[in-house]
Amino acid sequence: MTGGIATGKSTVSQLLQDYQIPIIDADKVAREVVEPGTDGLKQIQSTFGWQMIQPDGTLDRHALGTLVFAQHDKLDQLNQIMGPLIKAAVSAKLKRLRRQHQPLIIYDAPTLFEAHGAAGVSAIMVVSVPEDVQLKRLMTRDKLSQSEALNRIASQMPLADKIARADVVIDNAGSVDKTKAQVVKWLNEAGFSSLMSED
């Protein structure tokens, strides 16, 4: 499952979790690999400087985001650090879930295509909203100016390109009920209706 920043992947992810479908969340993994004491945090500090570390020893996400989304070479450097760390952690989680014989595992990755992670999945779901809705949601959610929000959107592959490569598109511009109806339709059509007994 992928989409653009602020298109509402977390809403779809929660709907799937309500059916006890396991989710590997790349954003959560990305936070885990830069927790205090990790090799990831040490690499970020040595590459971008001490100013990226807060007094309590955690990553200053706002400072790092401001830097990398304004300079593409810095974003490339960050991706070179994070990519292998995330890939290794995701692989370990996937192995654990496969040993449990889970019939469906969702990999929630906002930069699935950008990070070349689409090769190992059996189907691609893209969560979509119109561009103006995406911009407004991002500005509100992350308290960003319009230019900051546009920089972050521009750092990802255009949503239209992701939609063109999708097996299923979930339109998340309407109500949660409308989004849920699309998710349920896909689960039925994909042969996973047995997962939807909500008891």
Predicted confidence at residue 105, as pLDDT, reads 96
Q: Which residues of 139-150 are buried (b: 16+ CB within 10 A; e: fewer)?
A: beeeebeeebbe
The whole-number pLDDT of residue 199 equals: 45
What's the Cα-to-Cα distance from 26 to each of 94, 172, 181, 185, 192, rounded to whole Å?
Answer: 12, 20, 25, 25, 23
Structural domains in the chain, CATH included, are 1-22+103-188 (3.40.50.300), 29-101 (no CATH)
What count of residues does the chain have?
199
pLDDT-above-70 percentage for the chain: 98
More confidently predicted of 198 and 75: 75
Average per-residue pLDDT for the chain: 93
DSSP secondary structure string for all residues of 12-24: HHHHHHTTT--EE
pLDDT at position 173 is: 95
pLDDT of the residue at 120: 80
pLDDT tens digits for range 23-42? 999 989 999 999 999 999 99
Cβ(33)–Cβ(40) under 8 Å? Answer: yes
Q: Is the dihedral of CA 33, 113, 110, 190 positive or negative?
A: negative
Q: At 55, is the pLDDT very low, low, confident or very high (cuts 50, 70, 90)? A: very high
Q: How many separate helices (H) and strands (E) can be counted in the chain?
A: 9, 5
Task: List the one residue out of 104, 44, 90 whose CA is nearest residue 68.
Answer: 44
Task: Categorize the per-residue pLDDT at 179 as very low, low, confident or very high, splitting at 50, 70 and 90.
Answer: very high
- The residues that bridge with 125 in the sheet, in sequence order, are 168
